Chain A
Amino acid sequence: MTALKAKNLTLQRGQGQNSKSILSGEQCDFELQQGEFVHLKGDSGVGKSSLLSALARLIPIQAGELYLYNQSAKEIEPSQWRQSIAFLPQKPIMFTGTVEDNLLYPFQHIKVQQKTLPTHEQLGEELSSLGLNSITLQQQANTLSGGQQARLALARLLITQPQIILADEPMANVDVDTADLIYKRLQQFCAQDGTVLITRHGDLQADKYIYLQGNGQLVVEHECN
Protein backbone atom coordinates (compact mmCIF):
# COMPACT_ATOMS: atom_id res chain seq x y z
CA MET A 1 0.00 0.00 0.00
CA THR A 2 1.31 3.48 -0.82
CA ALA A 3 1.67 5.47 2.37
CA LEU A 4 2.97 8.72 0.91
CA LYS A 5 3.04 9.82 -2.68
CA ALA A 6 4.62 12.97 -4.11
CA LYS A 7 3.82 14.01 -7.66
CA ASN A 8 5.54 16.69 -9.76
CA LEU A 9 6.88 18.47 -6.73
CA THR A 10 8.30 21.96 -7.12
CA LEU A 11 10.19 23.05 -4.07
CA GLN A 12 12.36 26.10 -3.56
CA ARG A 13 14.26 27.43 -0.67
CA GLY A 14 14.29 31.19 -0.07
CA GLN A 15 12.61 33.80 -2.18
CA GLY A 16 13.43 36.09 -5.08
CA GLN A 17 16.99 36.23 -6.39
CA ASN A 18 18.43 34.18 -3.55
CA SER A 19 16.06 31.29 -4.08
CA LYS A 20 17.43 27.87 -4.81
CA SER A 21 15.55 25.15 -6.63
CA ILE A 22 15.43 21.86 -4.74
CA LEU A 23 12.89 20.08 -6.92
CA SER A 24 11.79 21.38 -10.30
CA GLY A 25 8.39 19.79 -10.70
CA GLU A 26 8.74 17.75 -13.85
CA GLN A 27 9.19 14.05 -12.98
CA CYS A 28 9.87 14.83 -9.35
CA ASP A 29 7.74 11.91 -8.19
CA PHE A 30 8.27 9.28 -5.54
CA GLU A 31 6.30 6.94 -3.36
CA LEU A 32 6.86 5.50 0.08
CA GLN A 33 5.21 2.12 0.56
CA GLN A 34 3.79 1.24 3.95
CA GLY A 35 6.46 -0.46 6.05
CA GLU A 36 9.35 0.86 3.98
CA PHE A 37 12.51 2.29 5.47
CA VAL A 38 13.75 4.88 2.98
CA HIS A 39 17.04 6.76 3.03
CA LEU A 40 16.95 10.29 1.58
CA LYS A 41 20.43 11.03 0.26
CA GLY A 42 22.22 13.97 -1.29
CA ASP A 43 25.14 16.33 -0.74
CA SER A 44 25.13 18.90 2.03
CA GLY A 45 22.92 21.89 1.27
CA VAL A 46 21.01 20.12 -1.46
CA GLY A 47 17.73 20.55 0.40
CA LYS A 48 17.07 17.27 2.21
CA SER A 49 15.82 18.97 5.39
CA SER A 50 13.65 21.31 3.36
CA LEU A 51 12.11 18.38 1.52
CA LEU A 52 11.31 16.64 4.81
CA SER A 53 9.76 19.86 6.17
CA ALA A 54 7.74 20.27 3.00
CA LEU A 55 6.45 16.69 3.19
CA ALA A 56 5.29 17.44 6.75
CA ARG A 57 3.69 20.61 5.34
CA LEU A 58 5.82 22.74 7.61
CA ILE A 59 7.02 24.78 4.65
CA PRO A 60 4.99 25.33 1.48
CA ILE A 61 5.64 23.54 -1.80
CA GLN A 62 5.40 25.77 -4.86
CA ALA A 63 3.57 23.20 -6.99
CA GLY A 64 2.77 19.51 -7.18
CA GLU A 65 0.68 17.16 -5.12
CA LEU A 66 1.04 15.11 -1.97
CA TYR A 67 -1.08 12.11 -1.06
CA LEU A 68 -1.37 10.29 2.24
CA TYR A 69 -2.79 6.82 1.67
CA ASN A 70 -4.25 8.07 -1.63
CA GLN A 71 -5.97 11.01 -0.01
CA SER A 72 -4.85 14.39 -1.33
CA ALA A 73 -3.20 16.84 1.05
CA LYS A 74 -5.84 19.34 -0.02
CA GLU A 75 -8.49 17.23 1.67
CA ILE A 76 -6.62 16.88 4.97
CA GLU A 77 -6.30 19.59 7.62
CA PRO A 78 -2.63 20.53 8.11
CA SER A 79 -2.71 19.63 11.82
CA GLN A 80 -4.26 16.21 11.03
CA TRP A 81 -1.68 15.67 8.32
CA ARG A 82 1.18 16.38 10.72
CA GLN A 83 -0.20 13.96 13.29
CA SER A 84 0.01 11.24 10.65
CA ILE A 85 3.30 12.36 9.14
CA ALA A 86 5.55 13.30 12.02
CA PHE A 87 8.67 15.36 11.45
CA LEU A 88 11.64 14.85 13.74
CA PRO A 89 13.95 17.89 13.47
CA GLN A 90 17.70 17.50 13.66
CA LYS A 91 17.91 19.72 16.72
CA PRO A 92 15.69 18.32 19.47
CA ILE A 93 13.38 20.87 21.12
CA MET A 94 12.48 20.16 24.74
CA PHE A 95 9.42 21.66 26.40
CA THR A 96 9.83 23.17 29.86
CA GLY A 97 9.25 20.53 32.53
CA THR A 98 10.08 16.91 33.22
CA VAL A 99 10.67 13.99 30.87
CA GLU A 100 7.10 12.89 31.57
CA ASP A 101 5.74 16.38 30.79
CA ASN A 102 7.54 16.22 27.47
CA LEU A 103 6.20 12.78 26.60
CA LEU A 104 2.62 13.63 27.54
CA TYR A 105 2.54 17.18 26.19
CA PRO A 106 0.92 16.19 22.88
CA PHE A 107 -1.83 14.33 24.74
CA GLN A 108 -2.55 17.15 27.15
CA HIS A 109 -2.38 20.16 24.87
CA ILE A 110 -3.07 18.88 21.38
CA LYS A 111 -6.14 17.01 20.18
CA VAL A 112 -4.18 14.00 19.00
CA GLN A 113 -5.96 11.21 17.17
CA GLN A 114 -4.47 8.68 19.54
CA LYS A 115 -6.56 9.66 22.56
CA THR A 116 -5.76 7.16 25.31
CA LEU A 117 -3.11 8.56 27.59
CA PRO A 118 -0.10 6.22 27.67
CA THR A 119 0.57 4.58 31.03
CA HIS A 120 3.82 5.03 32.96
CA GLU A 121 4.69 1.49 31.97
CA GLN A 122 4.32 2.26 28.27
CA LEU A 123 6.39 5.42 28.66
CA GLY A 124 9.08 3.41 30.45
CA GLU A 125 9.09 0.77 27.69
CA GLU A 126 9.43 3.41 24.98
CA LEU A 127 12.34 5.03 26.81
CA SER A 128 14.16 1.76 27.36
CA SER A 129 13.67 0.72 23.72
CA LEU A 130 15.82 3.75 22.94
CA GLY A 131 18.37 2.97 25.64
CA LEU A 132 17.15 5.66 28.00
CA ASN A 133 16.94 3.35 31.03
CA SER A 134 19.12 5.63 33.11
CA ILE A 135 16.76 8.60 33.04
CA THR A 136 13.62 8.94 35.15
CA LEU A 137 10.25 10.35 34.16
CA GLN A 138 10.60 12.99 36.89
CA GLN A 139 13.93 14.30 35.61
CA GLN A 140 13.95 17.82 34.13
CA ALA A 141 14.21 17.47 30.36
CA ASN A 142 16.68 20.33 29.99
CA THR A 143 19.21 18.50 32.19
CA LEU A 144 19.55 15.67 29.64
CA SER A 145 22.53 15.42 27.32
CA GLY A 146 22.15 16.22 23.63
CA GLY A 147 22.01 12.54 22.68
CA GLN A 148 19.41 11.83 25.36
CA GLN A 149 17.30 14.77 24.21
CA ALA A 150 17.44 13.48 20.63
CA ARG A 151 16.11 10.09 21.76
CA LEU A 152 13.49 11.65 24.03
CA ALA A 153 12.25 13.72 21.07
CA LEU A 154 11.94 10.50 19.05
CA ALA A 155 10.15 8.73 21.92
CA ARG A 156 7.73 11.68 22.24
CA LEU A 157 6.91 11.36 18.59
CA LEU A 158 6.61 7.54 18.60
CA ILE A 159 4.03 7.42 21.40
CA THR A 160 1.65 9.63 19.42
CA GLN A 161 1.61 6.71 16.93
CA PRO A 162 2.12 8.47 13.61
CA GLN A 163 1.87 6.54 10.33
CA ILE A 164 5.01 8.01 8.81
CA ILE A 165 8.13 9.43 10.42
CA LEU A 166 10.32 11.94 8.63
CA ALA A 167 13.57 11.91 10.57
CA ASP A 168 16.18 14.58 9.87
CA GLU A 169 19.64 13.29 10.82
CA PRO A 170 18.46 11.50 13.99
CA MET A 171 21.79 9.73 14.29
CA ALA A 172 23.95 12.86 14.06
CA ASN A 173 25.63 13.98 17.30
CA VAL A 174 25.13 10.63 19.06
CA ASP A 175 27.63 7.84 19.69
CA VAL A 176 27.74 4.66 17.59
CA ASP A 177 25.77 2.54 20.07
CA THR A 178 23.02 5.16 20.39
CA ALA A 179 22.85 5.54 16.62
CA ASP A 180 22.35 1.80 16.41
CA LEU A 181 19.52 1.91 18.96
CA ILE A 182 17.76 4.69 17.04
CA TYR A 183 18.19 2.81 13.77
CA LYS A 184 16.79 -0.42 15.26
CA ARG A 185 13.84 1.39 16.84
CA LEU A 186 12.94 3.00 13.51
CA GLN A 187 13.29 -0.40 11.76
CA GLN A 188 10.97 -1.86 14.38
CA PHE A 189 8.49 0.97 13.67
CA CYS A 190 8.53 -0.07 10.00
CA ALA A 191 8.03 -3.72 10.95
CA GLN A 192 4.83 -2.61 12.69
CA ASP A 193 3.49 -1.04 9.48
CA GLY A 194 5.04 2.37 10.02
CA THR A 195 6.98 4.10 7.25
CA VAL A 196 10.24 6.01 7.62
CA LEU A 197 12.02 8.56 5.46
CA ILE A 198 15.37 9.39 6.98
CA THR A 199 18.39 11.54 6.16
CA ARG A 200 21.86 10.63 7.23
CA HIS A 201 25.39 11.52 6.26
CA GLY A 202 27.01 8.31 5.13
CA ASP A 203 25.57 4.93 4.34
CA LEU A 204 22.55 3.30 5.82
CA GLN A 205 20.93 -0.03 5.12
CA ALA A 206 17.46 0.79 3.73
CA ASP A 207 14.69 -0.63 1.55
CA LYS A 208 14.90 2.26 -0.89
CA TYR A 209 17.06 5.28 -1.60
CA ILE A 210 15.99 8.67 -2.87
CA TYR A 211 18.84 10.80 -4.18
CA LEU A 212 18.43 14.56 -4.34
CA GLN A 213 20.64 15.50 -7.26
CA GLY A 214 21.10 19.19 -6.58
CA ASN A 215 19.94 20.10 -10.09
CA GLY A 216 16.26 20.05 -9.21
CA GLN A 217 15.92 16.34 -9.98
CA LEU A 218 15.72 13.21 -7.90
CA VAL A 219 16.48 9.56 -8.51
CA VAL A 220 14.79 6.65 -6.75
CA GLU A 221 16.73 3.43 -6.35
CA HIS A 222 15.50 0.22 -4.77
CA GLU A 223 17.67 -2.01 -2.68
CA CYS A 224 18.71 -5.02 -4.77
CA ASN A 225 18.62 -8.20 -2.80
Chain B
Amino acid sequence: MNAIDIGWAQLFLATLFIFAAGGLSIALSLGLMKPLLIATVRTYLQLIAMGLVLVWVFKINEAWLVLALFTFMLVMTARVLLQRVTHKPPRIFFSTLSAVVLSGIFVTFSVTTLVIQVDPWYDARYILTIGGMVLGNSMNGIALSLERLFDDLHKRGEEVQQLVALGATPWEATFPSLRTALSAGLMPTINSMSAVGLVFIPGMMTGQLVAGADPIHAAKYQIVIMLMISAATAIGAILSLYWAYQKAFDEEGCLISSQAH
Protein backbone atom coordinates (compact mmCIF):
# COMPACT_ATOMS: atom_id res chain seq x y z
CA MET B 1 0.00 0.00 0.00
CA ASN B 2 2.14 2.85 -1.30
CA ALA B 3 1.46 6.14 -3.04
CA ILE B 4 3.50 7.06 -6.11
CA ASP B 5 6.63 8.80 -4.87
CA ILE B 6 7.06 12.39 -6.03
CA GLY B 7 10.48 13.01 -7.56
CA TRP B 8 12.47 16.17 -6.76
CA ALA B 9 11.97 17.47 -10.29
CA GLN B 10 8.19 17.07 -9.94
CA LEU B 11 8.34 18.82 -6.58
CA PHE B 12 10.05 21.76 -8.29
CA LEU B 13 7.29 21.71 -10.92
CA ALA B 14 4.71 22.19 -8.16
CA THR B 15 6.71 25.17 -6.96
CA LEU B 16 6.26 26.82 -10.36
CA PHE B 17 2.57 27.30 -9.56
CA ILE B 18 3.63 29.66 -6.80
CA PHE B 19 5.57 31.68 -9.35
CA ALA B 20 2.45 31.83 -11.48
CA ALA B 21 0.49 33.19 -8.51
CA GLY B 22 3.37 35.55 -7.70
CA GLY B 23 3.44 36.76 -11.31
CA LEU B 24 -0.24 37.63 -11.10
CA SER B 25 0.43 39.48 -7.86
CA ILE B 26 3.19 41.53 -9.51
CA ALA B 27 1.01 42.30 -12.54
CA LEU B 28 -1.77 43.58 -10.27
CA SER B 29 0.61 45.21 -7.73
CA LEU B 30 -0.85 43.21 -4.87
CA GLY B 31 2.44 42.90 -3.00
CA LEU B 32 1.99 39.18 -2.37
CA MET B 33 5.15 37.94 -4.09
CA LYS B 34 7.47 38.37 -1.10
CA PRO B 35 5.22 36.75 1.54
CA LEU B 36 4.42 33.95 -0.91
CA LEU B 37 8.12 33.29 -1.53
CA ILE B 38 8.97 33.34 2.16
CA ALA B 39 6.05 31.01 2.93
CA THR B 40 7.15 28.65 0.13
CA VAL B 41 10.71 28.48 1.42
CA ARG B 42 9.41 27.88 4.96
CA THR B 43 7.10 25.12 3.75
CA TYR B 44 10.03 23.41 2.02
CA LEU B 45 12.42 23.71 4.92
CA GLN B 46 9.96 22.90 7.72
CA LEU B 47 8.37 19.90 6.06
CA ILE B 48 11.64 18.37 4.81
CA ALA B 49 13.15 18.92 8.27
CA MET B 50 10.11 17.31 9.85
CA GLY B 51 10.37 14.41 7.40
CA LEU B 52 14.01 13.87 8.36
CA VAL B 53 13.20 14.06 12.08
CA LEU B 54 10.33 11.60 11.65
CA VAL B 55 12.57 9.12 9.76
CA TRP B 56 14.87 9.20 12.76
CA VAL B 57 12.09 9.10 15.37
CA PHE B 58 10.22 6.25 13.67
CA LYS B 59 13.48 4.26 13.57
CA ILE B 60 14.26 4.75 17.26
CA ASN B 61 10.59 4.69 18.36
CA GLU B 62 11.14 4.86 22.10
CA ALA B 63 8.68 6.15 24.71
CA TRP B 64 10.91 8.93 26.12
CA LEU B 65 11.57 10.38 22.68
CA VAL B 66 7.92 10.31 21.64
CA LEU B 67 6.85 11.92 24.92
CA ALA B 68 9.57 14.56 24.70
CA LEU B 69 8.46 15.52 21.19
CA PHE B 70 4.81 15.52 22.21
CA THR B 71 5.62 17.82 25.13
CA PHE B 72 7.44 20.17 22.76
CA MET B 73 4.38 20.18 20.50
CA LEU B 74 2.11 21.02 23.48
CA VAL B 75 4.24 24.00 24.53
CA MET B 76 4.47 25.29 20.95
CA THR B 77 0.70 25.00 20.57
CA ALA B 78 0.09 27.22 23.62
CA ARG B 79 2.74 29.71 22.51
CA VAL B 80 1.59 30.03 18.93
CA LEU B 81 -2.09 30.29 19.78
CA LEU B 82 -1.53 33.07 22.33
CA GLN B 83 0.37 35.12 19.72
CA ARG B 84 -2.91 35.41 17.86
CA VAL B 85 -4.89 36.72 20.85
CA THR B 86 -5.17 40.52 21.21
CA HIS B 87 -6.27 42.44 24.36
CA LYS B 88 -5.12 39.52 26.49
CA PRO B 89 -4.28 40.07 30.15
CA PRO B 90 -0.78 39.16 31.38
CA ARG B 91 0.02 35.78 32.90
CA ILE B 92 -2.29 33.60 30.87
CA PHE B 93 0.38 31.35 29.37
CA PHE B 94 0.27 28.67 32.06
CA SER B 95 -3.50 28.48 32.21
CA THR B 96 -3.60 28.17 28.40
CA LEU B 97 -0.82 25.59 28.42
CA SER B 98 -2.70 23.60 31.08
CA ALA B 99 -5.84 23.58 28.92
CA VAL B 100 -3.83 22.46 25.87
CA VAL B 101 -2.03 19.77 27.86
CA LEU B 102 -5.18 18.37 29.48
CA SER B 103 -7.29 18.29 26.33
CA GLY B 104 -4.40 17.25 24.05
CA ILE B 105 -3.16 14.38 26.20
CA PHE B 106 -6.63 13.16 27.17
CA VAL B 107 -7.98 13.05 23.63
CA THR B 108 -4.83 11.84 21.84
CA PHE B 109 -4.11 8.95 24.20
CA SER B 110 -7.77 7.97 24.62
CA VAL B 111 -7.97 7.55 20.87
CA THR B 112 -4.64 5.78 20.38
CA THR B 113 -5.03 3.36 23.29
CA LEU B 114 -8.80 2.75 23.40
CA VAL B 115 -10.05 3.32 19.84
CA ILE B 116 -7.12 2.47 17.54
CA GLN B 117 -5.39 0.28 20.19
CA VAL B 118 -1.87 1.16 19.15
CA ASP B 119 0.79 -1.33 20.20
CA PRO B 120 3.18 -0.32 21.73
CA TRP B 121 1.16 2.54 23.27
CA TYR B 122 3.81 5.13 22.38
CA ASP B 123 4.21 4.18 18.69
CA ALA B 124 5.52 7.40 17.15
CA ARG B 125 3.79 6.76 13.82
CA TYR B 126 0.42 7.19 15.57
CA ILE B 127 1.05 9.40 18.62
CA LEU B 128 2.89 12.17 16.79
CA THR B 129 0.68 12.24 13.71
CA ILE B 130 -2.64 11.98 15.49
CA GLY B 131 -1.43 14.19 18.34
CA GLY B 132 -0.34 16.75 15.76
CA MET B 133 -3.75 16.79 14.16
CA VAL B 134 -5.49 17.12 17.52
CA LEU B 135 -3.22 19.96 18.63
CA GLY B 136 -3.20 21.79 15.32
CA ASN B 137 -6.96 21.87 15.09
CA SER B 138 -7.73 22.55 18.74
CA MET B 139 -5.13 25.32 18.62
CA ASN B 140 -7.30 27.19 16.12
CA GLY B 141 -10.44 26.69 18.20
CA ILE B 142 -8.82 27.79 21.45
CA ALA B 143 -7.19 30.81 19.79
CA LEU B 144 -10.51 31.89 18.27
CA SER B 145 -12.26 31.49 21.63
CA LEU B 146 -9.70 33.46 23.61
CA GLU B 147 -9.46 36.12 20.92
CA ARG B 148 -13.22 36.60 20.98
CA LEU B 149 -13.43 36.55 24.78
CA PHE B 150 -10.91 39.33 25.34
CA ASP B 151 -12.11 41.32 22.36
CA ASP B 152 -15.66 41.14 23.66
CA LEU B 153 -14.63 42.03 27.23
CA HIS B 154 -12.71 44.97 25.80
CA LYS B 155 -15.75 46.17 23.85
CA ARG B 156 -18.13 45.52 26.75
CA GLY B 157 -15.75 47.11 29.25
CA GLU B 158 -18.14 49.75 30.55
CA GLU B 159 -21.05 47.36 30.68
CA VAL B 160 -18.99 44.75 32.53
CA GLN B 161 -17.84 47.33 35.04
CA GLN B 162 -21.45 48.48 35.50
CA LEU B 163 -22.50 44.88 36.17
CA VAL B 164 -19.68 44.54 38.67
CA ALA B 165 -20.86 47.76 40.33
CA LEU B 166 -24.33 46.23 40.61
CA GLY B 167 -22.82 43.31 42.51
CA ALA B 168 -22.07 40.84 39.72
CA THR B 169 -19.26 38.35 40.24
CA PRO B 170 -16.66 38.18 37.44
CA TRP B 171 -18.37 35.00 36.21
CA GLU B 172 -21.78 36.70 36.01
CA ALA B 173 -20.36 39.80 34.34
CA THR B 174 -18.36 37.76 31.81
CA PHE B 175 -20.95 35.10 31.04
CA PRO B 176 -22.39 36.68 27.86
CA SER B 177 -18.85 37.05 26.48
CA LEU B 178 -17.98 33.46 27.43
CA ARG B 179 -20.92 32.14 25.46
CA THR B 180 -20.05 34.17 22.38
CA ALA B 181 -16.41 33.14 22.67
CA LEU B 182 -17.13 29.44 22.96
CA SER B 183 -19.45 29.46 20.02
CA ALA B 184 -16.89 31.41 17.93
CA GLY B 185 -14.23 28.84 18.80
CA LEU B 186 -16.31 25.76 18.05
CA MET B 187 -18.19 26.96 14.97
CA PRO B 188 -15.44 26.17 12.40
CA THR B 189 -15.12 22.63 13.79
CA ILE B 190 -18.87 22.07 13.81
CA ASN B 191 -19.13 23.51 10.28
CA SER B 192 -16.41 21.24 8.98
CA MET B 193 -18.07 18.22 10.62
CA SER B 194 -21.26 19.09 8.74
CA ALA B 195 -19.56 19.71 5.40
CA VAL B 196 -17.14 16.77 5.46
CA GLY B 197 -17.80 14.23 2.71
CA LEU B 198 -20.22 16.58 0.99
CA VAL B 199 -17.97 19.48 0.19
CA PHE B 200 -14.47 18.17 0.74
CA ILE B 201 -12.43 15.06 1.46
CA PRO B 202 -10.36 15.81 4.53
CA GLY B 203 -6.56 15.70 4.48
CA MET B 204 -6.02 12.47 6.35
CA MET B 205 -8.59 10.56 4.33
CA THR B 206 -7.10 11.93 1.10
CA GLY B 207 -3.69 10.74 2.25
CA GLN B 208 -4.94 7.26 3.02
CA LEU B 209 -6.89 6.99 -0.25
CA VAL B 210 -3.88 8.12 -2.28
CA ALA B 211 -1.81 5.55 -0.40
CA GLY B 212 -4.27 2.89 -1.59
CA ALA B 213 -6.40 2.32 1.52
CA ASP B 214 -9.91 0.91 1.39
CA PRO B 215 -12.32 3.93 1.34
CA ILE B 216 -14.45 2.54 4.21
CA HIS B 217 -11.32 1.91 6.25
CA ALA B 218 -10.20 5.49 5.52
CA ALA B 219 -13.66 6.85 6.33
CA LYS B 220 -13.67 5.16 9.75
CA TYR B 221 -10.30 6.71 10.53
CA GLN B 222 -11.55 10.07 9.43
CA ILE B 223 -14.65 9.82 11.64
CA VAL B 224 -12.46 9.10 14.64
CA ILE B 225 -10.23 12.03 13.74
CA MET B 226 -13.13 14.45 13.28
CA LEU B 227 -14.73 13.43 16.57
CA MET B 228 -11.55 13.70 18.54
CA ILE B 229 -10.69 17.06 17.00
CA SER B 230 -14.10 18.37 18.05
CA ALA B 231 -13.71 16.91 21.53
CA ALA B 232 -10.22 18.34 21.96
CA THR B 233 -11.30 21.73 20.67
CA ALA B 234 -14.35 21.84 22.94
CA ILE B 235 -12.50 20.65 26.06
CA GLY B 236 -9.49 22.88 25.35
CA ALA B 237 -11.63 25.94 24.61
CA ILE B 238 -13.84 25.49 27.69
CA LEU B 239 -10.89 24.97 30.04
CA SER B 240 -8.82 27.79 28.61
CA LEU B 241 -11.78 30.19 28.69
CA TYR B 242 -12.64 29.19 32.25
CA TRP B 243 -9.11 29.83 33.47
CA ALA B 244 -8.41 32.86 31.28
CA TYR B 245 -11.42 35.08 32.06
CA GLN B 246 -10.42 35.20 35.72
CA LYS B 247 -7.11 36.80 34.76
CA ALA B 248 -9.00 39.79 33.33
CA PHE B 249 -10.23 40.64 36.85
CA ASP B 250 -8.32 41.71 39.95
CA GLU B 251 -8.78 40.12 43.36
CA GLU B 252 -11.63 42.54 44.12
CA GLY B 253 -13.45 41.21 41.06
CA CYS B 254 -13.02 44.35 38.91
CA LEU B 255 -12.11 44.33 35.23
CA ILE B 256 -8.42 45.19 35.15
CA SER B 257 -8.30 47.39 32.04
CA SER B 258 -11.11 49.63 33.32
CA GLN B 259 -9.03 50.92 36.23
CA ALA B 260 -6.89 53.06 34.00
CA HIS B 261 -8.96 56.18 34.70
Q: Are A160 and B161 in contact (CB under 8 A)?
A: no
Cα(A86)–Cα(B29), bound, Å: 59
- Taking CB atoms, residues of chain B closer than 8 Å to A156 are 166
Closest-by-CB residue of A relative to B169 is: A79
Asked, given contacts A60-B252, A78-B253, whether A112 binds B158 with beta carbons under 8 Å apart, the answer is no
Query: Does B62 make an interface contact (CB < 8 A)?
Result: no
> Is there an interface contact between A109 and B168, defined as CB atoms closer than 8 Å?
yes
Interface size on B, residues (CB 8 A): 18
Known: A59-B259, A78-B252, A79-B253. A109 touches B163 (CB 8 A): yes
The interface bits of chain B over 209-240 (1 if a CB of A lies within 8 angstroms of the residue's CB, else 0) are 00000000000000000000000000000000
Question: Are B254 and A58 neighbours in the complex by a CB distance under 8 Å?
Answer: yes
Q: Are B168 and A79 in contact (CB under 8 A)?
A: yes
Q: Once the chains are docked, how many angstroms separate the CA of A112 from the CA of B166?
A: 9
Whether B175 lies near A58 (C-beta < 8 A) is: no
Cβ contacts under 8 Å, B172 to chain A: 79, 109-111
In the complex, chain A residues 68-117 whose Cβ is within 8 Å of any chain B Cβ: 78-80, 82-83, 86-87, 89, 93, 95, 105-106, 109-112
CA distance A157 to B168 in the complex (A): 13
Q: Closest CB-CB distance, B125 to chain A, in whole Å?
A: 50
Interface-centre pick from B158, B169, B175 (highest chain A CB count, 10 A): B169
Partner of B167, one of A59, A95, A106: A106
Bound CA span A160–B168, Å: 12
Q: How large is the interface on A (under 10, 10 to 19, 20 to 34, 35 or more residues)?
A: 20 to 34
Which B residue's beta carbon lies closest to that of A157?
B166
Give complex CA distance A111, B166 in Å: 10
Inter-chain CA distance A109–B166, complex, in Å, is 11
Q: Answer yes or no: A57 CB below 8 A from chain B CBs.
A: yes
Q: Closest chain B residue to A84 by CB distance? A: B167
Q: Which of B165, B252, B253, B259 contacts A87 (CB 8 A)?
A: B165
B252 closest partner in A (C-beta): A78
Quick check: is A23 within 8 A (CB to CB) of the other chain?
no
Task: Tell which of A59, A80, A110 touches B166, judged by Cβ atoms closer than 8 Å.
Answer: A110
The yes or no answer to A56 lying at the interface (CB within 8 A) is yes
Measured CA separation A57–B164 after assembly (Å)? 10
* Cross-chain contact B167 with A160 (CB below 8 angstroms): yes
For A95, the chain B residues whose CB sits under 8 A away are 159, 162
Q: Which B62-114 residues have a C-beta within 8 angstroms of A?
A: none
**What CA separation (Å) do A83 and B165 show in the bound complex?**
8
A43 CA to B175 CA in the complex, in Å? 39
CB of A102 to closest CB in B, whole Å: 10
Structural contact, A93 and B253, CB atoms closer than 8 A = no
Contact among B159, B162, B167, B250 with A60 in the assembled complex (CB-CB below 8 Å): B250
Nearest first, the 4 closest Cβ-Cβ pairs linking A and B are: A83-B167, A93-B162, A78-B253, A110-B168
Extra contacts, 7 of them, besides A58-B161, A78-B252 (Cβ < 8 A), are A60-B250, A79-B253, A82-B166, A93-B162, A109-B175, A110-B166, A112-B167
Q: Residues on A close to B: CB < 8 A?
A: 56-60, 78-80, 82-83, 86-87, 89, 93, 95, 105-106, 109-112, 156-157, 160
